[in-house]
């Protein structure tokens, strides 16, 4: 399959903006090329448009060449760029597997790109046969979220591989929660599948939702398309610095993940004791989906107690469910105490 043939004609033809910082890459003493203010503030220069230092560290950490990494202003920018690169408005569509992350649909809606929904099975696994049957030449992107938000489970890797083999558009595997998962990441498969894009983020396990930094791993061809379409300086300097600092302290991330996983299993056990809790979905992420009697009443009660969880009870196949993020030990204790009072 040629990725080139999936790209919108206007993007194929596009001459990208060439910034001062991308035209001159060498070393010099005097920079009079970008209309910057010459007085040092720490931030008076434009940042590296290709974030080379950050990508080099990510490359070492993940074992993926820097040429196969794209960085976005959150994964949300990666999603948006993918749709604008591949989907012709009012002509092409994307495939999504509800219940899943809401941004795929919203980004498509903003771009005036239709969606086709192929719901997951009862145990929240993709249905390859139905997905492939629903796809045609206008199906440019399939979004798979694993571990899936809001259900928390990972997809069976054999199912994902079958889809990767047979779907003739771009397959995006959104791994925002992979650091909490027992499953292997799909990133190593980008060498094998030219149509695979794997997304990860600094927003969850890395504790950096505030800096807005998302990662896309893909073939050099797809990374070149991202770079062609992105705003020239999409990752600001503060973000690049904060990411570099965090990447220097990988043990901290692992310690947080370990603690969150321990807290997750404690919370599962405590929730299981509550009479109004019907089912706790198995989670491979830093949240749990919980089915209960009268979820809206519980949700409102928790708000009155000063605790906010996510009401997913109106979402297809999540009827009766609240989604609870794992907090600190103290926060989870407060949550459990409040829920015990409720019963």
Name the site residues for ligand PLP (rule: CB under 6 A).
74-76, 101, 145, 149, 174, 176, 201, 203-204, 209, 214
- In the complex with ligand PLP, the residue whose CB is nearer, 163 or 198, is 198
Shortest distance, position 204 Cβ to ligand PLP, whole Å: 6
Shortest distance, position 149 Cβ to ligand PLP, whole Å: 4
Shortest distance, position 77 Cβ to ligand PLP, whole Å: 7
Q: Are 226 and 214 in contact (CB under 8 A)?
A: no
Selection from 203, 157, 201, 206 nearest residue 183 by Cα? 157
Residue sitting closest to ligand PLP (CB):
74
At 35 the three-state DSSP class reads: coil
The strand order across the sheet containing 139-145 reads 69-72, 214-217, 196-201, 170-174, 139-145, 93-96, 114-117
Backbone angles phi, psi at 250, to 5 degrees: -65, -30
Kindly compute the dihedral angle of the four CA atoms of residues 113, 116, 119, 125, in this order, to the nearest 10 degrees. -80
- In the complex with ligand PLP, the residue whose CB is nearer, 211 or 223, is 211
Q: What does the block give as tokens for 177?
A: 């929660």
Shortest distance, position 40 Cβ to ligand PLP, whole Å: 31
Shortest distance, position 101 Cβ to ligand PLP, whole Å: 4
| CA distance to 39, 52, 116, 261, 304, per residue, from 199 (Å) | 38, 18, 21, 22, 36
Q: Which residues contact 337 (CB under 8 A, 6 or more apart)?
A: none
Shortest distance, position 166 Cβ to ligand PLP, whole Å: 24
Burial class of 135 by CB neighbour count within 10 A (0 to 12, 13 to 18, 19+): buried
Shortest distance, position 293 Cβ to ligand PLP, whole Å: 27
Kindly compute the dihedral angle of the four CA atoms of residues 274, 276, 278, 281, in this order, to the nearest 10 degrees. -60
- In the complex with ligand PLP, the residue whose CB is nearer, 286 or 313, is 286
At 78 the three-state DSSP class reads: helix
């Amino acid at each position: 399959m040629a990725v080139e043939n999936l790209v919108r004609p206007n993007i194929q033809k596009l001459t990208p903006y060439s910034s001062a910082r991308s035209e001159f890459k060498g070393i010099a003493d005097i920079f009079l090329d970008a209309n910057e203010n010459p007085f040092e503030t720490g931030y008076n220069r434009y940042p590296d448009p290709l974030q080379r230092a950050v990508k080099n560290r990510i490359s070492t950490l993940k074992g993926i060449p820097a040429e196969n990494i794209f960085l976005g202003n959150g994964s949300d920018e990666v999603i948006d760029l993918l749709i604008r690169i591949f989907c012709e408005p009012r002509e092409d569509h994307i495939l999504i597997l509800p219940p899943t992350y809401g941004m795929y649909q919203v980004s498509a809606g903003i771009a005036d790109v239709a969606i086709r929904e192929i719901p997951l099975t009862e145990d929240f696994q993709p249905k390859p046969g139905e997905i492939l049957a629903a796809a045609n030449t206008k199906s440019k992107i399939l979004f798979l979220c694993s571990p899936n938000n809001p259900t928390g489970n990972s997809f069976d890797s054999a199912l994902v591989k079958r889809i990767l083999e047979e779907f003739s558009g771009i397959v995006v595997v959104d791994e925002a929660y992979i650091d909490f998962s027992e499953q292997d990441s799909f990133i190593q498969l980008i060498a094998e599948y030219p149509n695979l894009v794997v997304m990860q983020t600094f927003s969850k396990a890395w504790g950096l939702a505030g800096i807005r930094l998302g990662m896309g791993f893909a073939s050099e061809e797809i990374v070149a398309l991202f770079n062609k379409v992105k705003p020239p300086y999409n990752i600001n300097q503060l973000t690049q610095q904060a990411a570099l600092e965090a990447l220097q302290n990988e043990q901290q991330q692992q310690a947080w993940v370990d603690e969150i996983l321990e807290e997750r299993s404690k919370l599962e056990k405590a929730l299981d004791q509550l009479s109004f809790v019907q089912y706790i979905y198995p989670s491979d992420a830093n949240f749990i989906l919980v089915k209960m009697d009268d979820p809206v009443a519980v949700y409102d009660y928790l708000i009155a107690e000063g605790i906010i969880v996510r009401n997913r009870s109106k979402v297809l196949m999540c009827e009766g469910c609240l989604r609870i993020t794992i907090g600190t030990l103290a926060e989870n204790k407060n949550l459990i105490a409040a829920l015990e009072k409720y019963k």
